Every structure is written in structure tokens, then in C-alpha cells.
């Protein structure tokens, strides 16, 4: 099973531990990105995972790609060019102090990419699945067209297409997001969207849900998934259900809606003491894609995805270094955290 992901890889500069930005004299440098994180997860799970992007032909650009090659991700179709790699600064929150992200990604190589940079027929040779996110079209108008080209080529080849809406308010407005993303939804087979994504990108508001007060209305999630299936024909709609008690303490679960069967499946909820939540949604997407490619039953698929993401919250960095065995052990133990000997 070959999965191709497409997006921007970034340099992450994080304050050490839980210190404030520049409280210390150093920053911890790692690489990350929504689709890159998914590609790494899938490679660790054992799939034939490929990643496509554009990065500068520099030591920094090559280091970013090498960080993925280390895990076995196929990067042969990466395009080299442009002037800079995008980056972001991260201050990890604790208790009542939220995490903080500051982007510095304007004029990055991928944001300056052109449609002719990518030969999608070549890229999709031997592929079975294509994954992208709503972050890409937020970076430039051209990237919106590039994503459309990719979706058309993938659909023509019969690939399954998944998309994580991943709304980023610092990159575009809801009005712009809806004008660009809604027409692209007709290509999507598997859609991942939390309550903010559905409202900002698709204009569908969850009623009775307030994540800040840890109030989740399950019926609202089911209704929204039904609307997405009816409007766009997505076969599966998944949403993470995060209860934010504090920056360090979250309740974590998810729902998978099978549009063709008209049935919803809710996972178990994990009570997580968070080490690093950035990349948590991407680890969920990776877990879901893996479970669906393995033809798991819907309940097993959503349980696997949530467990994989739960484990990501306990490790630093955006990449989820969790194996299939790790996930199965968590599912078997129920999350008691006992030492495995």
C-alpha cells in the first residue's frame, strides 16, 4: 500500500522544556509539517510512504528532507528550489498557560511553488492513496490550484483521497478558506475535521459543544458528519474530540462516521497528561489512514487512530515515533502505563 502526502515541511524552533520563548539562550531545532508528520507515521507503521514538497536547495532544505528519509519516507519526488524554508517558533504551554505558535513562513519555497513544478502522473505511479491538508491552499492561491491538479490526477487514477481541513486562522480567513476549500471537497473520500475546521472551512457549526469548558455534544458531531456526507459525498468523516481541562490535561477521543452505512463510531476516551500536543492531529490522521488501508472494521479503525495519537501527546517533537506494536499494547492495556518487561 503506497501513500503519497503533499505539503510544507517546516523548521520548528522550540523553547527548551516548558520555558517561555527566549527565557533560555537556546532553542531546540527539529523539522515538522502537517503532511510530513503523517508521512513519518505511516512509514513507521510499515507502509510505503512517500512525501512531496518543495524546499530550497540548501543545507537547511536537505536536512529537512533527510529528517524524513531517516524514517524510511520516500522523498524522490521532492522539488528543490526557492529561497527559504518556512519555520515556526513554539512555546509549549503548561497548566493554565497555553502553548503559543509564531509563524515565519512567508515567501517559503513551497509557497512560491508553481503548477509546473509537479508532475502528478509521475508522482502517483504505483500509488494507492493521496493525503493533503487545508494548510496548503492557505499558503498561496497557486497552491490551491496545485492541490486541485493533484486531486484530479489522483481521482483519475482511482486513488483514495484524504484531507485534513486543518484551519489556520493566522494564514487565512474563514471566507477565503470556504471559497477555496468547498469546491475541492468533491474529490475527498476521507475527511478529517474538528469542530473549528467544520465551522470555519465548511460553514457547519457544531451546536452544544464548548471544548474550553470540556462540553461535547455527540449528536452535534454526528449531525455535522451527516451534512458533510450529503453535501460532498465523503465516504468517511472523522473528527477528534478534545476536552481541554488545561494545557497539560486533555480528554482525547474521536468519532468516525461511515457515510455509506449511515453509522457513527466513537472511540474510548483517554485522559492525557500532555508532554507535547503539537502534531497530535497529524498523528491521528496517520493512525486513521493506516487503519483504513488495513481494512479494519470502523470501530477498530477509530480506536487505533485515537490510541496512536494519544501516544504522540506523550513525546516531544511533531513526529510520532509510535509503532503498530506500541498502539496495540496501549489498546490491550487500556492505558494503565505499567512498565512493559
Whether residue 3 is contained in a domain is answered as: no
* Domains in the chain, number: 1
Strand partners, 242: 252
Whether the Cβ atoms of residue 83 and residue 111 lie closer than 8 Å to each other: no
Strand partners, 131: 5, 162
Strand partners, 79: 54
Whether residue 24 is contained in a domain is answered as: no
What tens-digit pLDDT sequence spans the chain (341 residues)?
Answer: 999 999 999 999 999 999 999 999 999 999 999 999 999 999 999 999 999 999 999 999 999 999 999 999 999 999 999 999 999 999 999 999 999 999 999 999 999 999 999 999 999 999 999 999 999 999 999 999 999 999 999 999 999 999 999 999 999 999 999 999 999 999 999 999 998 899 999 999 876 655 455 567 888 899 999 999 999 999 999 999 998 899 999 999 999 999 999 999 999 999 999 999 899 999 999 999 999 999 999 999 999 999 999 999 999 999 999 999 999 999 998 776 665 65
Q: Which three cell numbers stand for residue 154?
A: 489522483
Whether residue 227 is contained in a domain is answered as: yes
Instruction: For residue 316, give the CATH number of its domain.
Output: 3.40.1190.20
Query: How many residues comprise the chain?
Result: 341
Whether residue 234 is contained in a domain is answered as: yes
| Integer Cα distance of 24 and 226 in angstroms | 48
Whether the Cβ atoms of residue 263 and residue 293 lie closer than 8 Å to each other: no
323: domain range?
A: 33-53+114-332
Whether residue 212 is contained in a domain is answered as: yes
Whether residue 12 is contained in a domain is answered as: no
The predicted pLDDT at position 218 comes to: 87
pTM listed for this prediction: 0.94
Whether the Cβ atoms of residue 17 and residue 5 lie closer than 8 Å to each other: no
Whether residue 5 is contained in a domain is answered as: no
Amino acid at each position: 500500500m503506497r501513500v503519497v502526502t503533499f505539503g510544507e515541511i517546516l523548521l520548528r524552533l522550540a523553547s527548551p522544556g516548558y520555558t517561555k520563548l527566549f527565557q533560555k539562550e537556546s532553542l531546540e531545532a527539529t523539522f515538522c509539517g502537517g503532511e510530513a508528520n503523517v508521512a513519518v507515521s505511516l512509514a513507521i507503521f510499515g507502509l510505503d510512504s512517500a512525501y512531496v514538497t518543495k524546499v530550497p536547495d540548501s543545507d537547511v532544505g536537505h536536512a529537512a528532507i533527510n529528517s524524513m528519509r531517516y524514517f524510511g519516507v520516500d522523498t524522490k519526488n521532492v522539488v528543490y528550489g526557492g529561497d527559504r524554508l518556512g519555520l515556526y517558533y513554539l512555546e509549549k504551554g503548561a497548566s493554565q498557560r497555553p502553548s503559543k505558535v509564531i509563524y515565519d513562513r512567508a515567501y517559503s519555497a513551497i509557497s512560491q511553488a508553481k503548477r509546473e513544478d509537479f508532475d502528478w502522473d509521475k508522482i502517483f505511479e504505483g500509488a494507492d492513496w493521496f493525503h493533503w491538508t487545508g494548510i496548503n491552499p492557505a499558503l498561496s492561491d497557486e497552491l490551491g490550484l496545485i492541490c486541485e491538479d493533484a486531486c484530479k490526477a489522483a481521482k483519475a487514477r482511482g486513488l483514495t483521497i484524504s484531507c485534513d481541513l486543518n484551519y489556520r486562522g493566522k494564514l487565512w480567513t474563514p471566507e477565503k478558506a470556504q471559497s477555496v476549500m468547498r469546491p475541492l471537497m468533491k474529490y475527498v473520500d476521507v475527511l478529517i475535521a474538528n469542530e473549528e475546521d467544520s465551522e470555519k472551512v465548511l460553514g457547519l457549526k457544531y451546536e452544544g459543544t464548548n471544548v474550553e469548558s470540556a462540553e461535547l455534544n455527540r449528536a452535534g458531531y454526528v449531525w455535522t458528519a451527516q451534512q458533510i456526507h450529503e453535501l460532498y459525498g465523503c465516504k468517511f468523516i472523522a473528527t477528534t474530540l478534545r476536552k481541554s481541562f488545561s494545557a497539560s490535561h486533555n480528554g482525547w477521543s474521536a468519532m468516525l462516521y461511515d457515510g455509506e452505512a449511515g453509522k457513527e463510531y466513537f472511540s474510548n476516551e483517554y485522559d492525557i497528561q500532555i508532554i507535547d500536543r503539537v502534531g497530535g492531529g497529524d498523528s491521528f490522521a496517520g493512525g486513521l489512514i493506516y487503519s483504513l488501508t488495513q481494512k479494519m472494521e470502523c470501530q477498530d479503525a477509530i480506536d487505533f487512530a485515537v490510541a496512536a495519537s494519544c501516544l504522540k501527546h506523550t513525546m516531544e517533537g511533531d513526529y510520532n515515533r509510535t509503532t503498530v506494536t506500541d498502539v496495540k499494547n496501549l489498546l490491550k492495556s487500556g492505558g494503565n502505563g505499567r512498565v512493559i518487561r
